[in-house]
Structure 1
Amino acid sequence: MHWTKFPDALVLPLKTVCLALLDHPVPAQHAVRTGAKLLAVQTISHTTHHLRVLAEWMAHRGLTRLGELTDRHLDAYRTHVLTLDCPVIRKRQLLNTVVLVHAYRDLLPQPCRLATSAPWGGASGDNLVKVPRAPRVNKTPRIAAETMEALLAWSLRMLEDIGPDIADAWRTYQQLQQSSHPSQARFVGLPIRQRLAKFLADAAREGTALPGKRRPDGVLALDEQTLLRLMGLGFSYHRLSSARQREMVAESGLPLTESYALSSAINGTIDGRPWRDRPITPQELPDLVRFLTAAGFVIVCYLSGLRPGEALNLRRGCCDTDPETGELLLVGRRGKGQGRTPLVDAHLADDPWARPWVVVQPVHDAIALLEQLTPHPLIFPPAYGRPTLRTAQTHTRTTYYIAQDIGGFIDWINHNFVTADGGVPIPADPTKRLHVSRFRRTLAHFIVRRPRGLIAAALQYGHLATKVTLSYAGDADTGWMDDLVIERLEFVLEQVGQDRALLDEGEHVSGPATEEYKTRIAQSAAFAGRVVTGVRNSERLLTHADPNVHHGDGMTCVWTKETAACRKAKLAMGLPDNDAPDESECRSTCVNLVYTDRDIQQLRQRLHILTLHADDPLAPQPLRDRAAAQVATLSTTVERHEQASQQSPKEE
């Protein structure tokens, strides 16, 4: 927020307004209209742009306090806004900002309260500009499956196979820059000329080339700065201090090389081969560190479901483990929603603003590696190495630059590696470039479309809500849950449409819940479409449209809570039950099961594999017996389905 651009007399009042927006949930009368709870930090940043227009208008008329704005002034300001040469949506935002400031009047000191009972008689900016408000739709495009899966796979490869070599080279580079590398101990206490003589003698004895760099005219010249670092001289030395020292280098007769290596060890492999055939040089190291950071961001942001700003603001030591459940946690600060408010019981956490996310092991591994790259408190500082104008103590890397880093990482992978068929490892997304806000939208789309994805999402965020409530006295990330509701609604409608189409084409269904399956699909398939303008509408529509049919691995569950065998098994073991099937506890005798032709095809493939295991003479006898028992069970299911299919009349 650049307050220097505001009129001086209005800086303090408007700072007070913005502080109230940051610290307090949206007042009820405004929340009912907009559906907002607690404004995102980025939203407040945008609000300052609208406030600046109001401030400049007030300053032009000699108004120095918000408390001076009466209904007459607001009518004049509305006329001013409506005559501006800007899009209608901008005019609406400018007027709605005034309404927002008034909504916070009870939380502001008297000089900051508008002198009106209701701006423009309670009308909203939509009505004032006389343009109907379009339904709010999430227009963020998802990343194509081929692109996202390849990007995540190569990010994990970067973390596991390539990253350790880059981190080791970066550690060596930092030690050389800070004169703390073991190889520099022999130069301690020597003047620069003696250091140079000793370095040249050692290089001649070991057959080592001197560091060089290419000049603009293409000539390879001595890299004096790197040479000085190798001799243990700090950042205050930029070049050799005398002509005699340059003569010593020339007289040594040592060759120059652009590829002066920091380390000769390349331990990482890709498909059984070293990921590169030459050591890492200082010239390419900054880019490699940037690519490693980009890969780490992809892993952390995508696999956790964090918003980009929440991921970028993670700090050193953010990894944690729940002492009761053993779940891996990522502790950070939410950027939006009720979870951004301080904890009611602040003693439950060292940081009252901290909120946890449940994550998987690669996220912890990525952060552990990123913490090796910088001593700064932020996991994603604005730059590595020497300090910049934007210090890492107060700023983090921006979403713009991290998106640039990800693009560079993809280009580097595609340039240096190829697939077995000669294609690029990470195909381009057909929609547009990869900006980081697309990760969260893509994850919500993919998670509910995976086998048992709906169940996994429900369990994952059920755990998270319980943990946050009991252990941290906070709230779950409701914004992420909203994304899941929308994606689940789309998925359910797609699945019902596919099931109905296959039934019409003659797909056979067998099992105890066959009639219930057909009834639910027929009832749900009658849905003809409806405009959805909010998440709550989506939830209500999902309740009516969802037939509660879950396609699993070789079977389909027509979920009925009271008769579910998996639920009874969990209750018998003293485990809590969920209102969703648990395939790990599925029983073949459950009356909720049906088998479609698609399921039987999967069972036939599994039968073939199990038969090979049962007949494997080298396998231990208990494993062979177990495979044989599974073959018998699955064969019975397949035979019953085929017999029922032959006996059932074919629809014309």
Structure 2
Amino acid sequence: MSAPSPARPHPILPRADTPAIVPERVVDGYSGPVAAYGAAVWPLEPLIANPGADRRSVHWAGFPPRSREEFRLIAWVMINQALPDWFLVGRSAWHSRIGASVLYATVLEWRNLAYWLDGRGDGGLATCTPTVMSQYARHLAARPGASRSMMTKTLSALTRLCAFDTISPAPLGLGLPPWDREGIDDHLPVQASRGENTTEPIAPATMGPLLVWALRMVDDFADDILKAWQESNRLTARATTNPATPASKAALKRYLEDLTSRGAPVPSRQMLGKTLICARYVAAVTGCSPVQINALASTQRWQNLGEYVRRHPGPCPLAVPITGRVEGTPWTTALDYTEAGTLMRHLGTACFIVIAYLTGMRPGEVMALRTGCCPDPPSGRHLIHGRVFKGSSDEEGNHNSAGELRDVPWVAIPPVVAAVRVLERMVPTGGLLFDSAAHTFQHVRTSDGTSLGYEGLRARTDDFVHWASATARQLGRPHEQIPDDPHGGIAVARFRRSLAWHIARRPGGLVALAIQYGHLRTSISAGYASRSRDGIHELLDIETARATADTLTTLNEDLAGGTGISGPAARRAVQAAAHSPAFAGSIRTPRQARDILDNPALAVYDNPHSLLMCVYQRDRALCHRTVPTDSPSLDRCQPACANIARTDDHAHQLLRRATSLDEQARSQAVPGPLSERLSRRAARLRAQAHDHARDRTTLQESTP
């Protein structure tokens, strides 16, 4: 690129009391404080309108003293000024301004440079010539594990540093870095092999029971929990307003004397590892003031009350009937005053899981939903109206922190509608469904217009997993415990990827049967039909193509190892499997996915529920008798269909399932008619396995 054109510098150097963020840059609706230029910390919240975005702050104490003020000045320019026009010429991917999250990440990259310069003993940022920049880039590229994508972001941050220096009130004359003139590729580490998307889907063994417990919370337990929270708040309000009178003191004494004389437990709570009397609950029950309880415990007569409570801790039951059931069994014996807030926290987490997983929304889009976003329609489907943030830009093409209303609402299936209705009972009317103040459930907080953060939700999800597994054990349902995911913690961004994965793979078991995911795919896709930038179609295509590739790769390997195959579509399955080496492990883009999905010769779908493979051809499919489609309905597989193929593994599974059905049929607990149906089903499965053994062919035999 040619040398930069002269840029008009900012005419006035900021003073210590100059706002770090000038008024014109503060987002509409923000009324909080703005840090001064000379402050040790610059909160970036005045730049953020997205309620679900992280609130970051720049801490200047983290910069080396010798270069701190140089970086502070350029950061101030970056926040408050746009990149110069001359710089943007020919840079279609660059914007004149960046959002708060990228701004924060950029300053962190500058801090890394500052410490590298300081470690060399350089005099400060002014010594960072283009040659020094080139040395720093080589230093970064040589680090173990350095990736090209991360290095590209780092070098872009350094380019931004040099560009904003040109319009600084006191420019250092850094000049543009060498990669801006020579091209960036030579300054990046060697391209490493790329695997699949690093955001791993949640494993079916984990997602299945997690979704089961989240739906139970929303559908079966929510009424009990909300009533318990209401009763808990009523007792708290009563306790805090009870007057301290001689009569109430006498009532407290009678209450405690009755319990201690009988050796009965005293309502208690846990605090900082200690068991203490639950003063507010006791105050609400007896009509005394909590102050009277503390005063009474300090008298000689009751000086051992604390020790008695530790030896005789008791519950704080709420007068709330248990209506929720798990297959006919009450989900808990009683609801406790001390656990009402925790249960509300778990209920909010369950609502997030249901909405995030069953809509395909991005986490930030879920966090921005408000009450009233899903009105009851006069007829037809429920729709969710909300804001989108990815790709949202202002009239100048820069990122719009406030997002924009989605012109095509999301489609909400019934479980999602139920979750929204529960949340609307938890937060103030007109507020965010996941308002951070409303979701504390501990004390009254004034809403600051922000929603729960991603890390906070991840911690809440971990807590919900532990609670659900403990509840499963208490109810004698150890098979419904939620196992750890093999890829680690359940980050909120993984739900969207998991939805696409599960729809494409349609696993059975605890997650859902194929019919449920087939219907869900229709609903989700309908909600995104005219908005390709939302990416759910692309995710579904990529995951479906990967599932097809995995099926063909496994089949090709099995056939090469001598596995037999049978069925009217066996030859077509063998021919499709022969193409698997051409694309296995290489599906990363929508275009690559469409190359597979648009090729009818590769349309092979494994159906573990029916123990077969569908080698789909529209004109032969019995699952679509009237309206042929581009994909099968795996929940409606017909035994006589010409698209069926089976391998030796399918046949072995047929025999195992038949044996299991026979064992059920012989059980004395099974009624006679049901036993006969199970036996007939087992006989049909054995006949299918026999047909496979009779007709099976191997790769060598099926090749012309």
Establish whether TM, by shorter chain, passes 0.5. yes
Matches within 5 A, 1:487-498: 487-498=543-554
Letter in 2 for 1:367: V
Q: Deviations over 1:546-587 (max 9, x none)?
A: 6123456768655455777877834xxxxxx75334579999
Aligned to 2:423: 370
Indicate yes or no: 2:199 matched with 1:140: yes
User: Which of 149, 153, 157 lines up with 2:216 in the alignment?
Assistant: 157
Matches within 5 A, 1:380-395: 380-382=434-436, 383-385=439-441, 392-395=447-450
Indicate yes or no: 2:245 matched with 1:193: yes
Structure 2 counterpart SS, 1:141: coil
Contact 1:333 1:340 survives alignment (8 Å): no
User: Which of 523, 527, 537 lines up with 1:464 in the alignment?
Assistant: 527
Aligned to 2:485: 429
Aligned to 1:280: 335
Indicate yes or no: 2:155 matched with 1:95: yes
User: What is the deviation of 1:477?
Assistant: 1.6
The separation in 2 between residues aligned to 1:148 and 1:583, in whole angstroms, is: 21
CA shift in 2, pair 1:145/1:177, >3 Å: same
Aligned to 2:540: 484
Indicate yes or no: 2:237 matched with 1:173: no
Contact 1:403 1:434 survives alignment (8 Å): yes
Indicate yes or no: 2:283 matched with 1:239: no
Indicate yes or no: 2:412 matched with 1:356: no
CA shift in 2, pair 1:125/1:117, >3 Å: closer
The separation in 2 between residues aligned to 1:618 and 1:423, in whole angstroms, is: 28
CA shift in 2, pair 1:265/1:453, >3 Å: closer
Contact 2:218 2:419 survives alignment (8 Å): yes
Q: Paired residues, what number?
A: 573
Aligned to 1:448: 504
User: What is the deviation of 1:50?
Assistant: 2.8
Aligned to 1:265: 321
Contact 2:266 2:315 survives alignment (8 Å): no
Aligned to 2:73: 9
The separation in 2 between residues aligned to 1:341 and 1:568, in whole angstroms, is: 49
Contact 1:10 1:55 survives alignment (8 Å): no
The separation in 2 between residues aligned to 1:42 and 1:136, in whole angstroms, is: 27
Indicate yes or no: 2:564 matched with 1:506: yes
Letter in 2 for 1:239: V
User: What is the deviation of 1:375?
Assistant: 2.5
TM-score, normalization by structure 2: 0.62
Structure 2 counterpart SS, 1:239: helix
CA shift in 2, pair 1:322/1:580, >3 Å: farther
Aligned to 2:33: none
User: Which of 315, 318, 343 lines up with 2:370 in the alignment?
Assistant: 315
User: Which of 521, 534, 537 lines up with 2:576 in the alignment?
Assistant: 521
Letter in 2 for 1:304: T
Indicate yes or no: 2:380 matched with 1:329: no
Structure 2 counterpart SS, 1:164: helix
The separation in 2 between residues aligned to 1:117 and 1:74, in whole angstroms, is: 7
The separation in 1 between residues aligned to 2:416 and 2:492, in whole angstroms, is: 17
User: What is the deviation of 1:148?
Assistant: 1.8
Structure 1 counterpart SS, 2:405: coil
The separation in 2 between residues aligned to 1:248 and 1:4, in whole angstroms, is: 53
Structure 2 counterpart SS, 1:329: strand
TM-score, normalization by structure 1: 0.67
The separation in 2 between residues aligned to 1:19 and 1:388, in whole angstroms, is: 44
Structure 2 counterpart SS, 1:358: strand
Matches within 5 A, 1:213-224: 213=269, 221=277, 223-224=278-279
CA shift in 2, pair 1:209/1:28, >3 Å: farther
User: What is the deviation of 1:335?
Assistant: 4.2
The separation in 2 between residues aligned to 1:584 and 1:417, in whole angstroms, is: 30
Aligned to 2:38: none
Contact 1:299 1:363 survives alignment (8 Å): yes
User: What is the deviation of 1:41?
Assistant: 7.5
User: What is the deviation of 1:170?
Assistant: 0.6
Higher alpha-carbon deviation: 637-646 or 195-204 = 637-646
Q: Deviations over 1:345-382 (max 9, x none)?
A: xxxxx963576332321122122223323337222233
Contact 1:47 1:97 survives alignment (8 Å): yes
The separation in 2 between residues aligned to 1:28 and 1:489, in whole angstroms, is: 36
Letter in 2 for 1:94: T
Aligned to 1:289: 344
Contact 1:509 1:595 survives alignment (8 Å): yes
Structure 2 counterpart SS, 1:192: coil
Contact 1:41 1:335 survives alignment (8 Å): no
Letter in 1 for 2:545: L
Aligned to 1:302: 357
Matches within 5 A, 1:404-419: 404-418=459-473
Contact 2:623 2:632 survives alignment (8 Å): yes
Structure 1 gaps of 5+ residues are 21-25, 64-68, 345-349, 571-576, 620-626
User: What is the deviation of 1:259?
Assistant: 1.8
User: What is the deviation of 1:453?
Assistant: 8.8
Aligned to 1:347: none
Aligned sequence identity (%): 21
User: What is the deviation of 1:425?
Assistant: 2.0
CA shift in 2, pair 1:78/1:174, >3 Å: farther
User: What is the deviation of 1:452?
Assistant: 7.0
Structure 2 counterpart SS, 1:432: coil
User: What is the deviation of 1:332?
Assistant: 3.0
The separation in 2 between residues aligned to 1:43 and 1:136, in whole angstroms, is: 26
Contact 2:570 2:646 survives alignment (8 Å): no
CA shift in 2, pair 1:126/1:334, >3 Å: farther
CA shift in 2, pair 1:556/1:152, >3 Å: same
User: What is the deviation of 1:231?
Assistant: 8.2
The separation in 1 between residues aligned to 2:368 and 2:528, in whole angstroms, is: 22
User: What is the deviation of 1:386?
Assistant: 5.1
The separation in 2 between residues aligned to 1:144 and 1:45, in whole angstroms, is: 33
User: What is the deviation of 1:496?
Assistant: 1.9
CA shift in 2, pair 1:360/1:39, >3 Å: farther
Contact 2:651 2:689 survives alignment (8 Å): no
Q: Deviations over 1:44-76 (max 9, x none)?
A: 65344335667998998688xxxxx9xx95554
Higher alpha-carbon deviation: 639-648 or 547-556 = 639-648
User: Which of 549, 556, 580 lines up with 2:631 in the alignment?
Assistant: 580
User: What is the deviation of 1:519?
Assistant: 6.6
Q: Deviations over 1:239-295 (max 9, x none)?
A: 3499589889979x9x97642223242222233222222x32222222222222222
User: What is the deviation of 1:495?
Assistant: 1.7
Contact 1:195 1:231 survives alignment (8 Å): no
Contact 1:211 1:227 survives alignment (8 Å): yes
The separation in 2 between residues aligned to 1:193 and 1:263, in whole angstroms, is: 26
Structure 2 counterpart SS, 1:266: coil
The separation in 2 between residues aligned to 1:219 and 1:581, in whole angstroms, is: 60
Structure 1 counterpart SS, 2:338: coil
Letter in 2 for 1:276: T
User: What is the deviation of 1:410?
Assistant: 2.3
Structure 1 counterpart SS, 2:223: helix
Contact 1:144 1:429 survives alignment (8 Å): yes
Contact 1:78 1:95 survives alignment (8 Å): no
Letter in 2 for 1:95: L
Letter in 2 for 1:400: E
CA shift in 2, pair 1:360/1:104, >3 Å: farther
CA shift in 2, pair 1:533/1:395, >3 Å: same
Structure 2 counterpart SS, 1:284: helix
Aligned to 2:7: none
